[in-house]
Amino acid sequence: MRVLMTGASEGLGSALAAYLAGVIGAENVFLTDDGLSSAKALALCQTAPACLEQEEAAAVINEIRPDRLILMPNRSGEDYRRIFERNAYRSIYFMEALRNADFSCRTAFVTSADIYQPSSGLLSEEDPMLAPTPFAACLIAMDELAYLYFKAYKLETIRIRPFECINAMPTAEEIKLRSEELIGKSAPLLFDYISIEEASRALWTILERGTPGTAYNLCSGHGIASGAGAEIGWVGNPSKILELGIAFDKFNN
């Protein structure tokens, strides 16, 4: 089993790389190095070129011949051009390469719950998408590309939308900044927290057991209020991942 992965930056990406190294062997995990990847993750796994050009992406796909491709979102500041290059365009390069490859490769398009509008109820995968940030606009493009390449070319793409993946409960200042990013002001919100370690395992399970063409919320279904009076936020409906046998322990109570 060989895995090629983009966006192994700090946070979920590098945690997933470390998890995969333990599961399938570090020699089988290839991380694209586009200057934003975690040095620790790169040192642990194999390094692949950035693949920010069609030809390079095709060459890497044909050389590594991955069984799994994981397209983690790569946040590079607020510059739209960079964000699209590293995420949407690179996804297209990989999909075009796989379309022409003589082997099959299951691909995870990992985006974020940021693509949903805040809600007072549980967000399901069919809820409307809306982009509060440039990054979210790009993530929506990625999500739609995954669906498109599945429908048009039957490529085995799976859309995974993680909610708030954290190592520890955020500080009041971090919550304030997150709130300002998402709704333009500091206000109490509901968040669906999952530990990064658990999210890594769940993400891999979704990729292995999920149905191609489908979108999955990677969430617990439990909302934690960031302050008194929180009525809306991003809490996911986990019914689809529950069917895959995924459940979470931490940050749920």
**Both structure tokens of 193:** 């927290």
Distance CA 184, CA 195 (A): 26
- Find the binding residues for other proteins in span 63-82 (CB under 8 A): 80-81
User: Minimum Å distance from CB 151 to other proteins?
Assistant: 5
User: Minimum Å distance from CB 74 to other proteins?
Assistant: 16
152 part of the interface to other proteins, by CB under 8 A: yes
Q: Which is nearer to other proteins, 81 or 171 (CB)?
A: 81
Instruction: Give the residue carrying structure tokens 């991942």.
Output: 241
Q: Which is nearer to other proteins, 23 or 59 (CB)?
A: 59
Window contacting other proteins (CB under 8 A); options: 31-39, 62-70, 129-137, 230-238: 129-137
Backbone angles phi, psi at 159, to 5 degrees: -100, 125
HSE-CB at 228 with a 13 A cutoff on CA atoms is 0
Among 145, 202, 206, 219, binds other proteins (CB under 8 A): 145
Go through 47-56 and write b for each residue having 16 or more CB atoms within 10 A of its CB, e for each that does not.
Answer: ebebbbeeeb
What is the total count of residues that contact other proteins (CB under 8 A)?
A: 31
Cα 244 versus chain centre, distance = 18
Binding mask 17-56 for other proteins (x = CB under 8 A): -------------------------------------x--
103 part of the interface to other proteins, by CB under 8 A: no
Among 141, 166, 199, 224, binds other proteins (CB under 8 A): 141
196 part of the interface to other proteins, by CB under 8 A: no
Strands in 3-65 per DSSP E: 3-6, 29-32, 46-48
The H or E element containing residue 164 is strand 164-166
Distance CA 6, CA 50 (A): 8
Q: Which is nearer to other proteins, 121 or 184 (CB)?
A: 184
Among 23, 26, 92, 230, binds other proteins (CB under 8 A): 92
User: Minimum Å distance from CB 69 to other proteins?
Assistant: 17
The dihedral built from the CA positions of residue 157, 100, 104 and 46, taken in this order, carries a sign that is negative
